[in-house]
Amino acid sequence: MNWISRKVHLYNVTMGLYMLDWWERYLFNVLILVLLWFICYNGSRFAAEFYDSHAKTNFGWRHFANGGSITS
């Protein structure tokens, strides 16, 4: 059993997927992937919005974002 097969087997046993039919496992995996995509997408949007609205003004990064330098 190679490394990938062991990880797939561990995932199936840990999540209880070994007792499901193939279509139930497929449906569960699709739902998990959609949930992960939703979390990553909204997390990246939140991080970009936070950077644009809070971090630039609170930490003085607006000067450097507009092309300023340390000496000017």
* Domain-located, residue 32: yes
Q: Is residue 56 part of a domain?
A: no
- Quick check: is 64 in a domain? no
28: domain range?
22-46
Residue 30 lies in a domain: yes
In this prediction, residue 71 carries a pLDDT of 55
pTM above 0.85, yes or no: no
Report in angstroms the alpha-carbon separations of 11 from 6, 32, 53: 9, 12, 40
Could you give the CA distance from residue 38 to residue 8 in angstroms, rounded to a whole number?
23
Say how many domains are in the chain: 1
Which pLDDT score, from 0 to 100, does residue 53 have?
Answer: 78
Spatial distance between the Cα atoms of 30 and 12, rounded to a whole number of angstroms:
14
Q: Flag whether 31 is in a domain.
A: yes
Q: What's the confidence (pLDDT) of residue 6?
A: 96
Residue 49 phi/psi, 5-degree rounding, is -65, -40
**Which residues, given as ranges, of the chain have pLDDT below 70?**
55-72
Asked if residue 71 is part of any domain, the answer here is no
